[in-house]
Structure 1
Amino acid sequence: MITKVELEFLVALQKNNNREWFAAHKKEFQSHEKKVKSFFKEINDDLEKLDSIDKMQVFRIYRDVRFSKDKSPYKNHFSVGFSRTKPLLRGGYYLHIEPGASFIGGGFWDPNAEDLNRIRKEFETDDEEIRAIIADPTFQKVFGELKGDELKTAPKGFDKAHPAIDLIRKKQFLVSKSFTDQEVIHPDFKKEVLATFQAMRPFFDYMSDVLSTNLNGESLY
């Protein structure tokens, strides 16, 4: 499990985000990283019993500062992503551990142009099923609403007066749930992570069906 010690290290790193401090505390970091990776692996193993996972990606602590105004060399969080097995299963799970800002996320962060158009066409044709999913009490309780960047107006080729334009305008299709530090270090946190991932499944399974078929419902694979 994640403990207060890991969170305290991340707080210290945030206050001392420089190479000198990190070098002096690298062995401590490696110890925390090993423990966190073990926790992520346990989640992956349990998630594989519930879904078909193609890969687990533990993100490195080092920031890519080439195109960023913030030149801090290190992230102040631990994070991991779990990708579902394509092409029939779509969507990805994400876990972010950061003092005061931990959360679980998932969905479709940067769909390619073809997938994005296919999703919009589905919403244009019939938005009843997706609306039922995002209005479901469990979805509402866990995630609140469907999130993601969106256009200010209708995308090219779509009617701005369409009843589903609120969905059609979206460029991303994301869900998330925040956790307090106390929740993160609680012994049941892993159970909560898996339950949150499971709550994404109706949304993921719907989107997978859309992205693996044409508008006539015929399989593409």
Structure 2
Amino acid sequence: MKLEKTLEFLTMLEANNSLDWMKDHREEYQEAKNEFLRFLQDLISQIAAFDPSVANLEPKRLMYRLNRDTRFSHDKSPYNPAFRAHLSIAERKPIPAGYYICIRPSKSFLGGGVFASQFPEATTLIRDHLLTHGKEFQKIITAKDFTDNFEVTGQKLKNVPRGYDKDHPLGDYLKHKAWAIEYVMSDQELLTKDLTFTAEKFRLMKPLNSFLNDALLGFKMPER
């Protein structure tokens, strides 16, 4: 997938996570970043074949910063040694659901669904949609292509929330506050698989993304 410089740089950053090191290696950082942005542009072109909503996205607006917020963390390392992006019409915002990619040595993965649990209104909209579109949801998550690649994860409650039938057939999914799916990728896959491989995993995520986004029609992200 032409991510050699990206993985090489991130491996070095993970081993030398400091402001001084980054200052001395800005050129390597820029080369790796540019490689990742080209990768995103090519990936957008392939995803647009089955999801036209991403066709005009600008890669640099989808990519997250490396800098970490260390104010409330015991880990004071200044950088997250990963290149991450969310391919969505809302760009980096977690809603609506899009296509998330994290490139990190030995910890890379592709993601879909709604992975943010901090929006109660969104959570309620999805739960209510599950009640009225349960058969559609079950068809999506039991399809062979889906079960061969993913399982629905995400933060969830111990019990079905108040106001919902605790014995509902989808009770376990009503407990969720986030409905996310992931496909873990090895470094070997990143270096040897064709870009089409990644695009195909995202194509398989699209039915769940579409289901969740239908539930979230009209939802607006809170203003800061």
TM-score by length of 2: 0.85
In structure 2, the residue matched to 1:17 is 17
Post-superposition shift, 1:110?
Answer: 2.1
User: Deviations along 1:129-188, whole A, 9 cap, x unmatched?
Assistant: 211110100001121x11111001121212323222101100001011011111001151
Q: Report which of the two structures shows the higher radius of gyration computed on alpha carbons.
A: 1
Question: Any gaps of 5 or more consecutive residues in structure 2?
Answer: 219-224
In structure 2, the residue matched to 1:104 is 110
Among the aligned pairs, what percent are the same residue? 33
Instruction: Supply the AA of the counterpart residue of 1:205.
Output: S
In structure 1, the residue matched to 2:156 is 150
User: Deviations along 1:58-80, whole A, 9 cap, x unmatched?
Assistant: 11122122222211111111111
Q: Is the 8 A contact 1:90 1:205 kept in 2?
A: no
CA distance in structure 1 between the aligned counterparts of 2:102 and 2:78, rounded to whole angstroms: 18
Instruction: Supply the AA of the counterpart residue of 2:47.
Output: L
Post-superposition shift, 1:15?
Answer: 1.0
In structure 2, the residue matched to 1:136 is 143
Question: Any gaps of 5 or more consecutive residues in structure 1?
Answer: 214-221
Describe the shift of the 1:25–1:201 C-alpha distance in structure 2 as closer, same or farther (beyond 3 A): same
CA distance in structure 1 between the aligned counterparts of 2:70 and 2:124, rounded to whole angstroms: 32
Task: Show the 5 A alignment for 1:52-201.
Answer: 52-53=53-54, 55=57, 56=59, 57-84=62-89, 90-110=96-116, 112-143=119-150, 145-188=151-194, 190-201=195-206
CA distance in structure 1 between the aligned counterparts of 2:185 and 2:13, rounded to whole angstroms: 20
CA distance in structure 2 between the aligned counterparts of 1:46 and 1:71, rounded to whole angstroms: 38
Post-superposition shift, 1:208?
Answer: 2.8
In structure 1, the residue matched to 2:31 is 31
- The count of residues paired between Structure 1 and Structure 2 equals 209
Point out the structure with the larger strand share: 1
